[in-house]
């Protein structure tokens, strides 16, 4: 077995197996490792349960003590560290730092990962602009949507809010019979200032109508039975709510 290079050694005085603090590179790749505990510290804005739910590395459920301890995959754990980094970036914490230690009982081949998170300061939305490129008469209606949009000035720049704001803008115009609406989003993030300037360019497009509707995939029901339940007809103005 590959010899581990310990950073610290405990347990000998207490009669238990020695526990070594090692890195992933120190683990013998030919040895099967089991995971005992998974500890996360330093997370102030997100609960540990939410972070662990993002990861592939899992411990044995506490309510199944009769089961073997879960297998520890060093490669999967390395990817999990990248997932945590991406999670924080997606929530506006671009400067978050993720570090780890592995407490290893070499005699029993048991690993207890200890992840430490330094969240840093998030990026805030300082500018949020909308531009209706082809039909400026819709600009007041777009401005009226601001209070209902996920993204707003002064809020942490989260990727989900960035995307959902685009979806909300499209939804509004689809209900205005604009089935060809397009929304282009851009964001300029200045890390050293922790700011983001966000812009949405909206091309409304012409009014659209419903065409013919095809029903596919039915096996026990006649497609005509489905078609007759539709609340819209060909030629009527398009509406996402009707769909």
Q: For 39-78, how does the pLDDT look when each residue is reduced to its tens digit (9 = 90+)?
A: 999 999 999 999 999 999 999 998 999 999 999 999 999 9
Range scoring the smallest mean pLDDT among 8-22, 51-65, 89-103: 8-22
Mean pLDDT of the region 195-209: 96
At residue 5, the pLDDT reads 44
At residue 106, the pLDDT reads 79
pTM: 0.83
**What are the sequence ranges of the domains in the chain?**
9-118, 124-203
Helix axes 159-174 and 74-90, enclosed angle (nearest 10): 60
Give the domain 124-203 fold.
Ubiquitin-like (UB roll) (3.10.20)
Phi-psi region of 10 (alpha: psi -120 to 50; beta: other; left: phi over 0): beta
Q: pLDDT tens-digit profile of 128-153?
A: 999 999 999 999 999 999 999 999 99
At residue 14, the pLDDT reads 41
Mean pLDDT of the region 194-216: 93
Fold agreement (9-118, 124-203): yes
Say how far apart CA 77 and CA 196 lie, in whole Å: 32
**In CATH, what number does 9-118 get?**
3.10.20.310
For the chain, what's the residue count?
A: 243
Mean pLDDT of the region 147-161: 97
CB 124 within 8 A of CB 195: yes
């Amino acid at each position: 077995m590959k010899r581990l290079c310990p950073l610290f050694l405990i347990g000998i005085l207490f009669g238990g197996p020695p526990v070594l603090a090692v890195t992933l590179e120190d683990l013998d790749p030919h040895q099967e490792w089991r995971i005992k505990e998974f500890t996360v510290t330093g997370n102030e804005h997100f609960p540990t349960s939410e972070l662990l739910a993002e990861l592939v590395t899992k411990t044995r459920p506490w309510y199944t003590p009769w089961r073997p301890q879960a297998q520890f995959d060093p490669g999967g754990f390395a990817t999990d560290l990248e997932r945590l980094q991406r999670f924080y970036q997606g929530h506006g914490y671009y400067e978050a730092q993720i570090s780890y230690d592995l407490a290893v009982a070499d005699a029993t081949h048991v690993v207890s990962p200890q992840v430490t998170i330094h969240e840093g300061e998030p990026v805030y939305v300082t500018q949020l602009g909308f531009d209706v490129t082809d039909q400026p008469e819709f600009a007041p209606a777009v401005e009226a949507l601001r209070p209902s949009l996920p993204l707003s000035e002064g809020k942490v720049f989260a990727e989900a809010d960035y995307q959902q704001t685009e979806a909300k803008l499209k939804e509004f115009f689809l209900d205005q019979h604009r089935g060809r609406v397009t929304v282009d989003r851009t964001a300029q993030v200045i890390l050293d200032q922790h700011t983001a300037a966000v812009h949405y360019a909206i091309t409304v497009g012409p009014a659209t109508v419903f065409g013919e509707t095809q029903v596919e995939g039915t096996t026990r029901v006649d497609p005509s039975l489905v078609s007759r339940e539709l609340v819209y007809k060909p030629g009527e103005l398009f509406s996402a709510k009707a769909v």
